Amino acid sequence: MIPRKLFIGMKKYTLNLSLTLLILQVSCVAQQSGINSSNDTYTEDLTLVRPAYEADDSDSIETQSDPVEQKQILAATNTVNAKVDMVLDSLDKLNQLRRFVDGFTIQIYSGPKREEALGAKAKMVKAIGDELEADIQYTQPKFRVTVGKYFTKLEAQKDLILLRDYFSNAILVPEKILIK
């Protein structure tokens, strides 16, 4: 004998299963009715739901006037041109006052001996030629030999790769560049 709770649970389960199968069967029949039996492609006639429009004579090409003639010249209102010009002028004045910009240089030598700094510069000129210009700077207590002035790292990358063939310790260092 089956307990009552189990019997009610089985009854609900059977009812749910029956409803699910019925829904699946109805959806399969609905899908099959839209399939063309000759080549199994889906076809559907939408002419009943498409809106219909009546053609107006005013829309025809012959009666339209030239679109340039239809444009009206409107005066600009609420413009910001004067304010933008003022800001651009102030930026221009600030840029004229700037003497230096942030940039990069390639350092090929840094050390306390002047002879080694001169030797590094001579080696660079001999190896590369006049393509690049080397500068020797002395900031106590060391000498620095730097090559080139670049605004971005990307610009300096080509020369850095070239210089690393001759100077393994060549590095890219940030530096202020004088604007002429």
Whichever domain contains 108, its CATH number is: 3.30.70.1070
Q: Which two tokens stand for residue 74?
A: 């409107």
Q: Is residue 109 in a domain? A: yes
Say what the pLDDT of residue 65 is. 55
Number of independent structural domains in the chain: 1
Which pLDDT value is given to residue 19? 77
pTM listed for this prediction: 0.49
Residue 143 lies in a domain: yes
Residue 112 domain-assigned (yes or no): yes
Answer whether residue 114 is part of any domain.
yes
Split the chain (180 residues) into runs of 10 and give each run's mean pLDDT.
64 76 71 56 84 69 56 75 90 88 92 91 86 87 91 90 89 88
Q: Residue 41's pLDDT is what?
A: 80
d(C-alpha 31, C-alpha 92), whole Å: 71
Is 60 a domain residue?
Answer: no
d(CA 20, CA 17): 5
Range of the domain at 121: 100-178
90-123 burial string, b = 16+ CB within 10 Å, else e? eeeeeeeeeeeeebbbbbbbbeeeeeebeebbeb
> What is the pLDDT at residue 105?
93
* Count of beta carbons in the 10 Å neighbourhood of residue 163: 23
Residue 53 domain flag: no
Distance, in Å, from the CA atom of 135 to the CA atom of 167, rounded to the nearest integer, reads 15
Q: What is the pLDDT of residue 146?
A: 92
- Is residue 77 one of the residues assigned to a domain? no
